[in-house]
Every structure is written in C-alpha cells, then in structure tokens.
Structure 1
Amino acid sequence: MTEIILSADGEVRLSAGDLAGKGEAILATRGAGKSWLAAVQAEQLIEAGYPILILDVVGEYWSLKAKYPVIVFGGQHADVPLDPHIGGEIAKAVLDRKLQAVVDLTGMRRADQPFFIADLAAELYEYGLQVKTPCWLLIEEAQNFIPQVGNPPCKRPILDIVEMGRHAGLGVCLVSHRSATIDKTALGLCDILVFKRLTLPHDLQVVRDFFRGRDPKFVDVVKELPALGNDEAILYYPLRLEAPVKFKVAERKTPHVAETPTLKIKEVAAPEISAVSRELTEYFQRFIREKVVRRDEVAELRARLEELQRELEEKDRRIEQLEHDLELAQRFRIEVPPELLKVPGVNEKLEKLEERIMDLYAAQVEKAKRLEEENRALKRQLEMAGKADFSALAEKLEALNREMQRSRDPLASLSESLSSAVEKASK
C-alpha cells in the first residue's frame, strides 16, 4: 500500500487507502501553510498514480505541472479552457481517464462557481458509483461552498461525497481558513483532521467543541494551536492513532506559488503540454463550442417564443376590443319603423347617426377618466399642502365632483340625442 508521508522526519504517514473513501479537513488561519500541506499530499498521490481532482479558487495548484503531468482546466496557465457548463464532463473525464487535474476557478465569475461545482460534484459521485474509480477530491476555501449558514446549490452534492463517497471510492479533503463558517456536519463526518495555526476565538471554539463532542480528553490540543509555526501541524486520526500527533510538515517537490506576492516573483516553467493534454483540449473545445451553439439556439428559440407570446397577447387585446365595440354597437342600435327605411337616404343618415353616437360615447368615457384623474390629483394636492389655500382647492374639487356626477352615466345624454334624432327622422 502506497504511503503518504506528511512529516519532514518521515514518521507521520497515511496510506493512500486512508485517503480513499474518507473525509479529511485541513483547518488553519491565512498564511499558516494549509495549501502547502494539501499539495504535499497531492504530489505523493500523483506519484502513486492516484486520480485526483483539485478545485482551486486562488490559482496556486497549477505549479504541480512543474514536475507532474497534471491537466489544468482554466486560469492563466490552462491546458484546457474552462466553461461554467462543463463541470460534469470534467468529472467524467477524470474518472474515465484516471487523470490528475486542477480546476482553476479564478477566471470564473463568483456567481457561476456554486453551479459549476454542483454539477461537477454530483457527476463525480453518481458516475463514480458506476465506475468505482478511486479518486481524491481537494476543495480549497471549502467554507465558500459548504457554509454553515446558507444553502448554495453545490452544498448538498459535496456533503454527499463527504458522507457517502466511500461507496464510489471517493475521498475528499476540505481546506478552510474559517473553521467557524464551514458546515459543522461536514467536519463531523471527517475521519482525518489536520490542525495548523488557528488564532481567531470563533475558530478555536469550533475545535474546542469538536473535541468535547468526540474526544473530550484531547480538548487541550486547542491551547497549542495559536503557537504553531507555518511548518507545524497536529494530526487527529483516531482510527489509526491513539492520540493527536504534532509534526513538522514535509517539503514540497513543486514550487509554492501561494505566498504573499512581493516585487520579486519567480516564474515557474511548466513542462510542454502532453499528448493527453492536447487531446483533452481539442475534446473540450469541441464540447464547449457545441454547448455554446446549443445555448445560442435555446436563447434564439426562447426569444422567438417571447415574441410569439407578445403577439398572442396583442391579438387577445385586439379581440377583446372588437368584442367591446360589437357590444356597444348592439347597445346603441337604432330601432326604426320598417316603413321609414323605405324613404330614400334614411339608411345613410342612420349610419352616420350611429357613428356620431359612438363618437359621443367614447368622448364621454375619456372625459370621465380625465375628471377622475384630476380629482385624484387634487386630493393628493390637498393632502400634501401644508399652508395652502384650502378654500380655493375645496371649491375646485367640489366643481369637479359636480361635473363628474353629470358625467357618470354618459348614456343619459346619448339617449336624449338618440330620441331627438329618431323623432326628426320620423317626420
């Protein structure tokens, strides 16, 4: 069984089997060396031919390419371009081809990352159950994706791997600088915990509560955490160790590019892209192009659907208006004695009269609307006026109310006009 050496003296070791199907958490404050320790494990798993998949939100694990045939998706040092819609395809490629891969998320919008990771983690677990390919998943800044408070779309798929990943041969390592904000269910499910320097009271309290709930006799470990150096860590693995072990972390074999930037930045020369990388690049470029084409087609169809919906709504409004006009026409239809219709020119006069009645009705309706709007405006003016002349406003309002009262039934004046017109036509 391949051994993963964690300590500089070679005494503290884990087996690849320890990492397969188990949950691990590396907890430390910023700059305390948590990514260094994670990379030490990644390097040795790669040397053992173990498939790994690293979700890198800060763009530092690409330097593994300096020594190993790692495929980098996305970021400034990408072998393969990254698209928010190919998370599931990446997971399948890692399992099918037994790849060592880094997904650099620095170029992806923060809002897209939870959906991308949800797709990737769900496919990694579900497809992993089918193919049973062992794989180690490393998630940097895990508190962003499985927070204690909140429920981003990627939270449930990641928790599924932490809780049940062993059935698919999946191990997961959660790296976080905020113990207080990462999901406590996930921490509780981890078999292996590595503590580096922690100084914030809330983060220390999380570790204290963890030991009180699981192993109270080791709660004093918390007192050592604020004083740990960057090269020191404490391993808690009760399935293999009788007590937590303090150790100095082993050296990395690839450059560490996660240090705070200075004026002198040493560039890391990456090896020439491999045939596998070229093949994957071509495959994912085709996949992304096809995805973009399908996305554009869907967008075009959606736009056309919205346009047709607007046309349908406009036709519905037109039908409603025509039905309204028909109802009015029937309401104002003039009943004329049959003998009167025989008089030359009567039909033409009646048609003009009906048109005039419709015009009068429409004018009355518009007038009523205008008066109601003026009425509301005056009421608002009265309410807002502090020292205004209320008597003048009240008189104007009363006059409008009287005019509205006369206009409330526009059919009254129309009926008078209609009666007069019929009487004249009869003569």
Structure 2
Amino acid sequence: MPVEVILPKVDMDMESGQISRWYAKDGDAVTKGQVLFEIETDKAAMEVDAPSSGILRNVTAAEGTTVPVGQAVAWIFAEDEAHTAATPASRAEAPALVTQKPTSVPGPADAQLPAVATSAERDAGIRATPLARRVAKEAGIDLASVSGSGPKGRIQKKDVESGVRNDAVAKPAVHVRPTAVEPEAALHASWLREGKNSELAPLVLIHGFGSDLNSWRPMLGGGALDNPILAIDLPGHGASTHNIPDDLHTIASLVEQTIAAYHSGPIILVAHSFGGAVATEMAARSHLDIRALILIAPAGLGPEINSAFISGFVRARTEPSLVAWMKQLVQDESILTKPFIEATLAQSRNVALREAQQLVADRFFADGTQVIDVRQSLGSLSIPVRVIFGAADRVIPATHAAGLPGEIAVHLFAATGHMPQLEQREKIMRILGEVSRSVA
C-alpha cells in the first residue's frame, strides 16, 4: 500500500502550516529520510523528510498552500506498485485552505477551495523566516526593501532589525533584494538545508568519486542539525563541468570560488573519499574561514586504493554489473535501496559524465595508485580535525588513519564499509553536531 505523506504537527498550538517549498516533484524517486518539502507556521520553519522510499505520487498541495495538520499532501508508492490519478482518502476530511490557486493535481484537493488572504510579501514570493515576517510587520517594514543574508537570499530576523535601526537614524535606503536565481559559481551547488540558526557556521559537504551532492541526503535523515547545509558537485560529477583540472590545487580553487558565491564567513568542511583530499587541500590553503574539518574515508593518506572497484564502477552500464560494484562500498547491503541504485544507474548511462570520471581516475588514481598525498597538509592544520573510517572499508584501507598527529580525533566504526555516512548516519550526524557546537 502507498505510504501517506502528511503535514506534521511541529508545535502544540499548530493547526495548519503553509508549504513554502517542495524539494521533490510528482514522479520522483525518493529515499527514506530525504527532504520532501518545507513548511512554515507562525512560529517556525521546518523541513519534512520522506517517511519511506519509493516513488512520490499525487502531490495534492502546491507551494503556497496552507494545509491542516494531519492531512495527506502526497503519497509514496513502491517501485512496482500500481497507482491511479485518484489518491486514497486523506487522514483529515477538512478541505485545504489555499493561499494561491492550486496547480491541477488530481486527488481530494480538486474540489473548489476557499481562498485565504495573504500578505503582499508572500504573494510576491519573498523568502523570509516566519520570525522575520513578524518583526517586519510589527515595525512596519516592507520586506521587499530588505536584503536577506540567509541561504539563497532568505531574509532573517537580524536583516529586518538592521532595517529598523537604520530607520531610526535616517530615511532608509532602498535595498535591492537578490533575485531567486542561483548565484554564479564555478561548480554546481545546492543548499540542502537552510538551517534553523543562521548564526551557526554552515556545513559544506563535498562528495566522493563517482557520486554527487544528492548522495548526502540520506545521511541528513539520521538526525537534526541547526546549521545551514551547502553541498557541492565536484568537476566531472553531478551537474558540474566535465572539464577535469590537472591537479588537486585547481579543484580546491574551484570549490573555494563556489563556496564564496553562496556564502561569506566561517564554514565547517565535511568531505568523503576523494572529496576528503580536496577539502584537506582547501584547509591547508587557508583561503576561506574554515573552522573545522571532518573527513570520512578520505583519499590522499596513503597510496593503496581498490583499483578494480574504480575501473569496474566507471565501466558498469547495466544494473547487475553496477550493483556488483556498489556492494563493495558497504558492509550492510540493505543500504543499497532500489531508488539509490536507480539514481546511480541513471548516472552510469550518462556517457559524458562517466568519461569525465574516467579522467578523474586516470589523473588522481593512476595505475591503481593514489597519486595524491595530503597527509603532511593534514598534519599542519591548527583547526579541529576528525577522521572517520569504516573498519571494513574495501575501497580505501582504514589503516590509512594510522600515524596521524595525536590532536586529530580518529573514529573507526566496526562492521562498516566505505560509506559510514550511510551505514552509521545517526552517529555521524552526532559527530557533526558535536563539532559544530565546539566551534560556535
């Protein structure tokens, strides 16, 4: 049976919430724990995760729709489960109240629905936290005149308060709010979380070889963090350029340029595998205000690497051959869900993408050897560093963590493979929280 996706109750007084943004669309394959949509109430903004893995169907509440608590807004069907345009009855019989004309989506919301008046700011599509909206309303501030400092230009409480202070001194200047387009950046990037506390340093996530920024989403279902979270696609991966730089130094520079386009100020770097070598190079360069470094099964600490995996993974084009190599990544094969496999398979059939990744392998893992070495750079850092390995890693030996300086904390998880961020996601999220609080 399909699994209902309902609007949850996030505080005691909550009776309804507005869906401010969908992160997945009807027909998308989703994974349990992946962020589906964001809701706003009078008190808070919250992201809602998928309750199960499968195919998202029959999305009945568009962005901008106000929905009663407990009402179904979509359903998740199993991969081979039959579905029709008509959705199952929702848990709440009360009709949804909408703040804009809903899209033509089949289901219970097809009935004529009463419209609710909204503020001019919301109708204009301005991104602002609920608290910022309240402060602006009380102070008589037009949000259209406020420049947001949050992720993607979202207006924070402090932005509005700054406008109030300026108003007390002189006639406020007109601020041009950033447009809703992505900033110009060297590589593709995306905010996976806007965060509940904009004062905390954002976590910047850098994936490993053959992956992309979406590979971090399942990890985020393992716990809650208040930090904004930005993820980046490395060259030859995801939606970034297929032009592969000749050296680690240049890749680090591209990542730095991308981060600077999205955020200025302190950050915490979290990186996996090949991304770990890139992140270490960035930390050693000190071009950004990096407050801490968390490396998961990082490359660049020794010459050994599973060359058969690298070669086989890049060549695989069918599901059976791809799954055979994906099993090398984990100790717990239940991690390899159908949506996870299908997403990876879709990438494997992108010939240009795989050719670019072959160039990465040829350049940095030549002749089955890691020809990059960041061990000395890692030892020279004065910021907090955590190194995390799975004891059963079959891609990069966990023994590469041996001999690191004593001030570097090393975490070694038993019965865990090359992807601790998936197999030990709750513990990894706890580590991220500990590091974030320690540098706040």
TM-score of the superposition, structure 1-length normalised? 0.24
| Structure number, greater radius of gyration | 1
- The structure, 1 or 2, with the larger RCO (C-alpha pairs under 8 Å, 6+ apart) is 1
As a proportion of its length, which structure holds more strand?
Answer: 2
